[in-house]
């Protein structure tokens, strides 16, 4: 059965027709064409499907669509709000935080949520924040470096904004 629902994704509120049993991940990937969130296990184990729900990292592969209604969904496609990539995206590129890249969208969104609540996170805080996102390529080291680099870039950005008249 197809249901018409209203969904807010990456700032756009849209009316979409979705099979009633779809999860949020299926809706994002198959209905809205947002393929940034990945399916690695379909059981909520790997974290590749992570999106932000009102800013909170959420496993979209086990989230019934109904529970996303009325909330702001952010996928990796909606992380950058300007012409340029988000400082986290740039930092991952600089440090080599992405190898195969399959876990990267989920890792980045978990990291983005961390950086909104902690502007200078310790290594331990980063490890905790990313513990729900399995990465099989990097051994995590270059991911930590990326998050630290992005945190520094964001702090600098904020400082220069405060200085500006």
Binding site for other proteins (CB under 8 A): 21, 29-30, 33-43, 45-46, 48, 75-77, 79-80, 85, 88-90, 92-105, 108, 126-128, 130-144
Q: Which is nearer to other proteins, 68 or 107 (CB)?
A: 107
Q: Which is nearer to other proteins, 68 or 135 (CB)?
A: 135
Q: Are 103 and 135 in contact (CB under 8 A)?
A: yes
Q: Which residues of 72-98 are buried (b: 16+ CB within 10 A; e: fewer)?
A: ebbbbbbbeeeeeebbbbbbbeebebb
Work out how close the CB of 165 gets to other proteins at its nearest, in angstroms, rounded to a whole number: 31
Helix axes of 87-95 and 104-117: crossing angle, nearest 10 degrees:
120
**Cross-strand pairs, 18:** 3
Work out how close the CB of 26 gets to other proteins at its nearest, in angstroms, rounded to a whole number: 9
Helix (H) or strand (E) holding 90: helix 87-95
Three-state DSSP class for residue 96: coil
Work out how close the CB of 92 gets to other proteins at its nearest, in angstroms, rounded to a whole number: 4
Work out how close the CB of 39 gets to other proteins at its nearest, in angstroms, rounded to a whole number: 7
Q: Which is nearer to other proteins, 7 or 34 (CB)?
A: 34
Q: Which is nearer to other proteins, 27 or 95 (CB)?
A: 95
């Amino acid at each position: 059965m197809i249901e018409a629902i209203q969904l807010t994704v990456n700032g756009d509120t849209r009316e979409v027709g979705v099979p009633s049993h779809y999860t949020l991940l299926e809706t994002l990937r198959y209905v809205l064409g947002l393929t940034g969130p990945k399916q690695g296990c379909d059981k909520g184990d790997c974290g590749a499907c992570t999106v932000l729900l009102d800013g909170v990292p959420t496993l979209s592969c086990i989230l019934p669509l109904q529970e996303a209604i009325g909330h702001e969904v952010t996928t990796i496609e909606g992380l950058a709000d300007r012409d340029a990539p988000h400082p986290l995206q740039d930092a991952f590129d600089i440090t080599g935080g992405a190898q195969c890249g399959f876990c990267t969208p989920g890792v980045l969104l978990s990291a983005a949520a961390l950086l909104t609540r902690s502007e200078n996170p310790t290594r331990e805080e980063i490890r905790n924040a990313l513990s729900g996102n399995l990465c099989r390529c990097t051994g995590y080291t270059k991911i930590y470096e990326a998050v630290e680099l992005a945190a520094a870039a964001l702090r600098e950005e904020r400082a220069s904004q405060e200085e500006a008249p």
